[in-house]
């Protein structure tokens, strides 16, 4: 009985531990794709799809990974699928904890810009950013500084 339960858990864990890395033809690793997926999760936290938020995500991918417009849109679509299918933030933040503190702060700055891309900071976006900052072990003072740099309040 316990062996059956253990084998079922192993199958579930294997499915969760290997997100669509093989489906990524653009050379991005799991960490980079996780950053884009988190951006899109923040963008969708207010339950509205803004063209400004989508455009910012595409611009980020084009600049950060030196991709053309079509490839950037495809990466954003792939990351959006992962974000939509996500069960929790942990599957993305677990990969990102390996980044240096400065890299995690840069990511948080990008996430704040994503949340405020439509000119409105929704309470759901702010709450999600707080959770992400906690999961990435970012100090509260740095979280507030990043928010003030983007939102001004």
Whether 4 is in a domain gets the answer no
Whether 7 is in a domain gets the answer no
Query: Among residues 85, 74, 84, which one has the least CA distance to residue 28?
Result: 74
Q: What is the CATH number of the domain that holds 96?
A: 1.10.3680.10
Q: Does the global pTM surpass 0.75? A: yes
The label of the residue with tokens 């899109």 reads 40
Whether 37 is in a domain gets the answer yes
Q: Which residues form the domain of 46?
A: 29-151
Whether 124 is in a domain gets the answer yes
Structure tokens at 104: 């995690």
Q: What pLDDT band is residue 19 in, cutting at 50, 70 and 90?
A: very low
Total structural domains within the chain: 1
Distance CA(147)–CA(137), nearest Å, equals: 16
At 121 the pLDDT is 87
CA angle 146–148–151, rounded 5-degree value: 105
Whether 20 is in a domain gets the answer no
Whether 108 is in a domain gets the answer yes
Query: Can you tell me the mean pLDDT for 92-115?
Result: 93
């Amino acid at each position: 009985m316990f062996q059956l339960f253990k084998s079922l858990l192993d199958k579930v864990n294997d499915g969760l531990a290997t997100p669509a890395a093989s489906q990524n033809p653009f050379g991005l690793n799991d960490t980079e794709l996780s950053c884009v997926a988190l951006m899109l999760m923040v963008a969708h936290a207010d339950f509205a799809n803004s063209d400004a938020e989508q455009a910012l995500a595409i611009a980020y991918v084009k600049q950060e990974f030196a991709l053309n417009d079509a490839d950037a849109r495809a990466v954003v679509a792939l990351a959006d699928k992962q974000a939509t299918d996500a069960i929790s933030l942990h599957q993305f933040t677990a990969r990102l904890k390996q980044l240096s503190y400065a890299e995690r702060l840069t990511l948080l700055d990008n996430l704040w810009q994503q949340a405020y891309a439509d000119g409105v900071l929704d309470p759901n976006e702010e709450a999600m950013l707080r959770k992400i900052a906690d999961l990435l072990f970012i100090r509260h003072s740095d979280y507030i500084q990043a928010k003030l740099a983007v939102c001004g309040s």
